[in-house]
Amino acid sequence: MKKNIAFFFINLLFISFCMATEKQNKTYEVFVHSTAPMGAISFDKIKTSDYLPAMREAIADHKKEIDSIANNPEKPTFENTIVALEKSGFALSRIQYVFYNLLSAESNDELNAIAEEIAPEESEHSNNIFLNEKLFDRIKIVFEQKETLNLDVEDAKLLEDTYLSFVRRGANLTDEKKEIYRRLSKELSLLDLQFAQNVLKSTNAFELLLTEKEELVGLPDDIILAAKEKAENKGKKGYLFDLSYPSYVPFLKYSSRRDLREHLYKAYNTKALNGDWDNCENVKKIVNLRLQLAQLFGEKDYASYVLSRRMAENSENVYQLLEQLLEAYRPTAINEIEEVKKYARKSGAEYDLMPWDWSYFSDKLKEEKYQVNDSEIKPYLALDSVKKGVFGLATKLYGLQFEKQTDIPVYHSEVEVYKVTEFDGKYVGLLYTDFHPREGKQGGAWMTEFKPQWKESDGSDSRPHISLVMNFSRPVEGKPALLTFDELTTFLHEFGHALHGLLADGRYASLSGTNVYRDFVELPSQIMENWASEKEFLDSFAKHFETGETISNHLIKKIKESENFNIGYACLRQLSFGFLDMAWHTQKVPFEGNIMEFEHQAWKQTQLLPIVDGMCMSVQFKHIFSGGYAAGYYGYKWAEVLDADAFSLFQEKGIFDKKTAKSFRENILSKGGVEHPMTLYTRFRGRKPTIEALLKRNNIVQ
């Protein structure tokens, strides 16, 4: 999962991070007045018991700031109202960034309990800001004078976003509807939390302990060793497999035991479906509350409410993209399915191909066609080498340098911190990396931040602290962590988000870095994936962890040739999630039906393998039910059109072309949300994007 650009709780507050408040004797002082180098979070001084009182104190102080702005006797101006609001809430936002990062990366029962207790209070505080009539009156006065204020582009965008944020959070509603909005937003904030916690707990609850050698047939040695260590770490004898990515994915790909593949597949696809962590009712409640909220604002459905502030603009444009891609890729996907079925029969499979057979047979077919597999590639992708390669790519493109820091406190011993500088030594920011799965960590991979970028009123630049969280394979029996090619691609993807945050160059935190339209935010990440199979990139770091031998041209050629293997199937799988998301959020009446039946109907046109009864994606679909991608999952495909089109310029000019990279940095990475995304993109590319580059990259058209 490539997700979590900014936590939804932080987005409840229209706040930024501009200047530290005067030192006060507050619980939150440990968060605000850092003693760590470069103002990093003082994790060594923060106790779990600090969070709740610190957030409550910070909420109280933020309320005083808001009251001061709202009750200012002076005439409303851009500075004393809009900028003052932007600069309020420093302490609260600082705490929230730490807390919600840890809630995803290093969670425990105590943090979960705090989150459930504070969520209604945060929601109430947010509502008290957006529904403050005096404050909104001042904002409206300034907004109505926007044509006479001589604002530059950035100031004008801040004014527009501030006004629209208040409108979209109920400022123009009647008093009766404002109370309804308060209730809906409170309930939704708590349900979002409960949904994510149920997915994590149900994921952690499953274990598959194997004790017989015949149960391991087909699995590579490194996967077996990792399972053995996992069992030993839990005081068990045998080989332990679970639903984390480095355990689940290789098992389905390599295990010759079809019965065990089926068992694991069904466990994965019934997460949060039954028992103590059942999300069925949460899905219904979230969908119906979102519909109520949208209709409160006069919209026909939740997608209409969301998409009015997206590049896509409306549901019709989203469906047009999804259906255009479905039409283009479905014939290829059908041919791919038939090819894998034929191979399975040739291999002796006397049964219909089921979803738990797909990875197993398709991987073997890929190996037969291209003579390439993960076991051959992984020795060249030791994690330390990959880090050098990925960081080195940023050096080649943007002149960035990465220096590991040992004196900055971290929240877990596996976390590393890097100081990032320009080629001339100018400080850019901090980068935290957290690579391996743990019981308290959500699945997937994501970028977020402990501190965004902004500029002080004196023009000085307050630089960002960015975090990358992954779930990559661990080192086993003295060997370094060896990544699959997919994990290399995931690293590049999330690193693209990190560059978007690190290279931010705006005055206002709410407009900097990844604070852009959700269907634009994946462009900086997805474009980085294009370098994964480029020879010049791989040559720079991919060396065998034992022999030191550089990856061969022959192996790179095979990787490149296999890039589009089953590309149609992969596209339809991604489209299925987009169709499902849109189906849930274009509901125009409350949903009271069967979730699994609804799901099957929503994505049936994308399903080419048999649908298995009793399986359900919706109840574990964190992106749309707790991760901020509601009515926005299509954004991955939307951005894929952009990234293919954008990378085609690098291909034309040279994949390390400094001039093209400089333009991408100046027009995309540094600008954040200062201007409309299409304006920024066309300034970089010289024209609007087309779908042709994506179709050519995937060999859908020649």
**Residue 464, both tokens:** 């960002």
Q: Do 507 and 282 meet the contact criterion of CB atoms below 8 Å apart?
A: no
DSSP 244: S
Rounded to a whole number of angstroms, the CA Rg of the chain reads 25
- Residues with Cβ < 8 Å from 454, sequence gap 6 or more? 16, 17, 18, 462, 506, 507, 508, 509, 512
Task: Clarify whether 22 is annotated catalytic.
Answer: no
Contact 377/488 with Cβ under 8 angstroms? no
DSSP per-residue letters across 99-156:
HHHHHHHS--HHHHHHHHHHHHHHHHHHHHHHT-HHHHHHHHHHHHTGGGS---HHHH
Closest CA to 1 of 615, 629, 438, 640: 629
Please enumerate in sequence order all residues whose Cβ is within 8 A of that of 130, keeping only pairs 6 or more positions apart, or say none: 14, 136, 165, 166, 169, 170, 171
Residue 432 sits at the vertex; the CA angle it makes with 428 and 438, to the nearest 5 degrees, is: 170
Alpha-carbon span 673 to 664, nearest angstrom: 15
Please answer whether residues 407 and 512 qualify as being in contact, where contact means their C-beta atoms are separated by less than 8 angstroms.
Answer: no
Task: Copy the structure tokens of residue 608.
Answer: 């080419």
H/E stretch holding 536 reads helix 535-539
Q: One of 57, 65, 449, 494 is an active-site residue; which one?
A: 494
Whole-angstrom distance, CA of residue 37 vs CA of residue 44: 13
Q: Which residues of 275-285 are buried (b: 16+ CB within 10 A; e: fewer)?
A: eebebbebbbb
The one-letter code for the residue type at 675 is E
Residues taking part in catalysis? 494
